[in-house]
Structure 1
Amino acid sequence: MGHFAAQHWENPYDSGIPRADRRSGEFRTFTPSVLTGMHLAIGPEVDAQVAAAERAVRALNRGAHRDLGLVSRFLLRSEAIASSYIEGIAPSPRNVALAELALDEDVRGLSETAQQVARNMTIVRDASDAMAENDTVTVNDLVALQSSLIPDPPELRGVRTTQNWIGGSRYHPLDAAHVPPPPEEVPALLQDLVQYMSGAVHSPIIQAALAHAQFETIHPFPDGNGRVGRAVIHTVLTRRGLTAEAILPVSLVLATRQQEYIDGLDSFRVEGPADSPQHSAAIESWVLTFSNAVRVAAEQATELETRLVTLRAEWQAMISDARQREGKVRATRRDSALWTILDSLPGTPVLTTTTVTRMHGVTTTAAQSALAQLTEYGVLETISIGRAQRAYVSLDVLDLITRSERAMASRAFDTAISPPMRAVPAPRRM
C-alpha cells in the first residue's frame, strides 16, 4: 500500500555551497501502491468524463486524414524542448525540421539546441513505437529510452542507485515537494509498472493516467524522468489502439495546466491500502485531471486537422490556377513526383532534392523539376542551408505547427484571449 517513510539526511558538505544548504534533518519518502491487480472504484461522474475523453479521441481517429499523423510528431518538439532548450530559447519548427534533415544530409549553421531537440524527437518517437508494438513492455525498454536521451555523463544513465527529490534545494531533500521511494525499492516498483503497462485490466485512458502518475512518483532515473514519463503516455495509448495514427498532445495540455497537473499528482500520492476510500478518491482526482487533458488534446488535434485539410485545398487551388495561367489544361498525374511530394509534405515541410529521391524513389531530375514547380506555384520557398546548397520549405505547414503549439501553451488555448505561458516560437511576420 502507499506509504510515507521517515528518513534522515546527513549533510555531506563542509564547504563550497551556501550555509543554508548545509543542513541535516528528517524527511519523508513516498512509496506508491503497486498497480498490478489494483481494483478501482471510479464514481459515475468521473467515469462519464473518461468516456467523453475516449469518445473524443476515437472520433478524431475516425475522421482524421493521415496528415495529422504526419505533422503531429512535431508536437514532440515541444516536449523535447521542455528539457533541452538553453536559457529559454526554443528553436523554431523550421530549425528543428532542418536539424531532422541534418540527421541524413549535410546542413550547416544549425544550433546544438535544434540538433538535440531533433535527436530527442526521433528517439522518443521510435522508442514509443517499439514499446507499443512489442508483446510486453520491459524495464529494459524504459532504461534504453532514458539512456539514449541522456548520452552523458554515464552516471546519469540507468535506474538510480541514490535518493532523488523534486523541488526545494538541489543539495538536500529536506524542503522537497516530493521525495520518491528509496533506491532499493525502485526495481520492484518498475517491474510492477511495466507489467501493468503490458496488460489491459483498465480502460486505455485510466491505464495511461495511472502509468504516468506511477512513473513520475517513482522517478526511477537520475535524469530524463520527464521525457520518459511523457513517452509512457504515448506508449499506453498507442498499445491500446487509441492513438494509432497520431501523437495526442496530452502532455502539452498538462504542461499548460501546470498547477492542476501538480495538484493531481499530489492527490495521487496518498497513504493507505489500494482499496481504501481515501485511495479511491485520490485516484479519481488524478484520473479526472488526466481525462480532461486528453479531451482538450483531442479537440486541439481536431483543430489542427481541420486547418491541414483547408491548407491542402489551398495548395490544389494554387496549382490549378497556376497551370491555367500557363495554358496547361491537363491535370498533373497523381503518381507524378509533384503530387508524391505534396502528399507527404505535412510530415516533411523541409526538403532537398536528395530527400525527395531518397524518400520517394524518384530520379534526381524528376525531384528537381517537381520542387521547382512547387516553388513557382507558391507552395514552397527556398532557403540556403550551406555553400551552393538550398532546401525547399513549406512555410504554411511550419506556420500551422507554430500556431498550434502557441495555442496549446495558452491557458485559454487561444492566444487572442491569453498569451502563451511558456517558451514557444513567435509567429512568422506576414
Structure 2
Amino acid sequence: MEQRRGSNVPKEPDRVRGSNDNAWPVLEWESLRWQAKLGSGPRYMTEAPYLPYKAAIPPMITNVRCTRAGEVTAAVEDAALAIRDFDHEFGNDIAPFSAILLRTESISSSQIENVTANARSIGMAELGDDSKRNATLVVDNVAAMNAALSAADSLETANVLEMHRALMRHADPGGAGRWREEPVWIGTSSASPVGADFVAPDAKRVPELMDDLMAYAARNDIQILAQSAIAHAQFETIHPFTDGNGRTGRALLHAMLRNKGLTRTVTVPVSAGLLNDVTGYHEALTAYREGDPDRIILLTAEATFRAIDNGRHLARDIEDARSKWENGIKARRDAAAWKIVDLLVRQPVVNSKLLEERLGLAPATIWRQMQVLEDAGVVQGFDKFKRGRHWWSDDILTALDAFAARSGRHGRG
C-alpha cells in the first residue's frame, strides 16, 4: 500500500550497503528524520517530533553491464519471439483488436492496484459517465497507455510525466504530471514511514534518478524484454510520484517495447499475466532491490506467455461474435450498420453523440441503423437518464469480462 503524509527533514546520508553481492548493484540506504505532526498518532510520536528512518538510495544503472544466466536469456528470447508472432498475427487481422488489447492491458494494470470495474461500467465512463469512480480511473489508465505509445518514439522523462498526467488527471489533478515532493512508502501505517516495509528515495533524488533510468531505457545493447522489465523495476523502486506509480511504470514498459520495435501494432496485455501472481510480482520487485534482477525478468517473460494465450482466447471470442452478427444482420454491405459494427468491437457501449462524431452519421441514420442492429441481436438499447439513448453489445462486453476473469487477481498461499 502506497502511503505518504507529514514532512521530511533530511540529514547527511548514512549509507548502508545491501548484503547481496550480485553483479547487479544493490540498494544503499540513508538515514533521514521524520517530523511527526503534533497531536496525531500515538503518544510517543507527539513527544518525539523527529523520528529516524531509512530511505532507499537506488543505484544509477545507465551503464550497468550484467550477464544473464543461460536459462534467463533463453526464456526472454522465447518470450520476445512470442510477442513478435502475436503482433504479426493480430496486428493486421482484426482491425480494432489493437484498441481492445490496449483496453484490456489498462484494466489488468488497474486491477493489480485493486482498481476494478466491469466492461460495461468502463464503456459508460468512456462516454462521460462519472458515477463509477473506478471505471473513470480505468479510462484514465487507457489514456495513460495511449500517451505512452504516442510518446514511444522518444524515451524521455517529459513523456513519463505526460503518461502520469493522463493517468491522474481526475484522481489527483494537483499532483498529475509532477515529480513528488514528499516521502512515499509501502507499509501498513499511513502516519509515518518509520518501520515501513520500503521507503522510496528522498524526493530530491527523483529527477536525477529518472534521468538515469531513461538513459538506461534508451540503450540498444540489451535484450529488449529484459531491459523493459529492469526499467520497470527500477521505476517502481524510485517511486517518482505520490500515486499511480505502478500503472505508470507498466505503461513505460509498453512504451519501451514499442520504441524498440518488439511490438508494432498491438499491446500485449502483460499486466493480465502478472495478475495471475501478484504476490510473486511484488516479491520479484523486492528481489530486484536486493540485487537480483532475474526474478522480475523471468516473471515478465512468464506473464507474456500467459497474456498471449489469454489474448488469443479473447480474439476467438470476438471472431465468434462477429460471425454470429454476419449471419444475423439484414443490411446491405455498404450500409452504415457495418461501420457501427466495427466501432462496437473496440467501443462496446455507444450513444448517438459518439456515432455522430466518430462515423459522421446523421441522427436519423443512427436511429435507423441501430434498430437494424437491435433486431439482429448485435446491440441492446437503453435510455440513460439525462444522457439519452445508449446501446451496448452484450457479446463484446461478455468477452471482455471473461478475459478479466481468466486473468484474475491471485496471490500465493
Shorter chain as normaliser: what TM range?
0.7 to 0.9
Check the 8 A contact 2:147/2:163 in 1, yes or no.
yes
Distance 1:411 1:115, change over 3 A: closer
Q: Deviations over 1:240-294 (max 9, x none)?
A: 2333333222123323311211111111113xxxxxxxx4xx1222211221112
- Assess if the C-alpha contact under 8 Å between 1:56 and 1:299 holds in 2: no
State the AA in 2 paired with 1:68: F
Return closer, same or farther for 1:318/1:299 CA change in 2, 3 Å cut-off: same
The structure-2 alpha-carbon separation of the partners of 1:82 and 1:263, relative to structure 1 and needing over 3 Å to count, comes to closer
Q: Compute the displacement of 1:130 (Å).
A: 2.0
Q: Shift of residue 156 of structure 1?
A: 7.2
Matched, 1:12 2:36: yes
Whole-Å Cα distance in 1 between the matches of residues 141 and 203 of structure 2? 29
Q: Distance in 2 between matches of 1:302 and 1:60?
A: 8
1:362-385, Cα deviation, whole Å (9 max, x unpaired):
333333222110110111110111
Could you list the runs of 5+ residues in structure 1 that have no partner in the other structure? 271-278, 324-331, 413-417, 422-430
SS across alignment from 1:257: helix
Q: Is the 8 A contact 2:76 2:298 kept in 1?
A: yes
Alpha-carbon deviation of 1:410? 5.3
1:31 match: 57
State the superposition RMSD in angstroms: 2.7
In 1, the alpha carbon distance for the partners of 2:209 and 2:234 equals: 9
Deviations 1:52-102 (A, max 9, x none): 2112212211221234213223321343466585xxxx4321122112122
Selected match of 1:296 from 289, 302, 306: 306
Q: How far apart in 2 are the matches of 1:21 and 1:294?
A: 46
Q: Which amino acid aligns with 1:186?
A: V
Given the two structures, how large is their TM-score scaled by the length of structure 2? Answer: 0.83
Report the counterpart of residue 109 of structure 2 in structure 1. Answer: 79
Matched with 1:365 is 364
Q: What SS does the aligned partner of 1:253 have?
A: helix
- 1: CA distance, partners of 2:339 / 2:117: 29
In 1, the alpha carbon distance for the partners of 2:373 and 2:73 equals: 49
Shift of 1:361: 2.5
Name whichever of 16-25 and 372-381 sits farther off: 16-25
Deviations 1:178-236 (A, max 9, x none): 22222232211100112222332222211210110010001111222122112112211
> CA 1:388–1:168 in 2, change beyond 3 Å: closer, same or farther?
closer
DSSP 3-state at the match of 1:66: coil
Could you tell me whether the CA contact under 8 Å between 1:97 and 1:118 is conserved in 2?
A: no
Secondary structure of the 1:392 match is strand
SS in 2 for 1:154: coil
Aligned: 1:144 with 2:162 = yes
Q: Residue type of the partner of 1:397?
A: I
Is 1:316–2:342 an aligned residue pair?
no
Are residues 382 and 13 of structure 1, via their aligned partners in 2, closer, same or farther at CA, if it must alter by over 3 Å? Answer: same
Instruction: State the SS of the aligned residue for 1:391.
Output: strand
**8 Å Cα contact 2:75/2:301 also seen in 1:** yes
Give the 3 Å change call, closer, same or farther, for CA 80–285 of structure 1 in structure 2. closer
Does structure 1 retain, via aligned residues, the 8 Å contact 2:352–2:389? no
Q: How does 1:267-416 map to 2 (within 5 A)?
A: 267-270=287-290, 279=291, 282-319=292-329, 323=330, 332-387=331-386, 389-409=388-408, 411=410
2:117 is aligned to: 91
Deviation at 1:308, TM superposition (A): 1.4
Q: In the alignment, what sits opposite 2:73? A: 47
TM-score calculated relative to the size of structure 1: 0.80
CA contact (8 A) 2:55 2:199 kept: yes
Partner SS, residue 199 of structure 2: coil
Tell me, in whole angstroms, the C-alpha distance in 1 between the residues paired with 2:38 and 2:318: 60
Equivalent residue number for residue 229 of structure 1: 249
Instruction: State the secondary structure of the residue aligned to 1:172.
Output: coil
Question: Please, which runs of 5 or more residues in structure 2 have no aligned partner?
Answer: 1-24
Q: What is the alpha-carbon distance in structure 1 between the residues aligned to residue 258 and residue 65 of structure 2?
A: 23
Report the CA distance between 1:392 and its aligned residue.
1.5
Q: Percent identity?
A: 25
String of CA shifts for 1:79-126, please: whole Å, max 9, x gaps. Answer: 3466585xxxx4321122112122xxxx6xx51415622541342133
Which range moves more in the overlay, 22-31 or 365-374?
Answer: 22-31
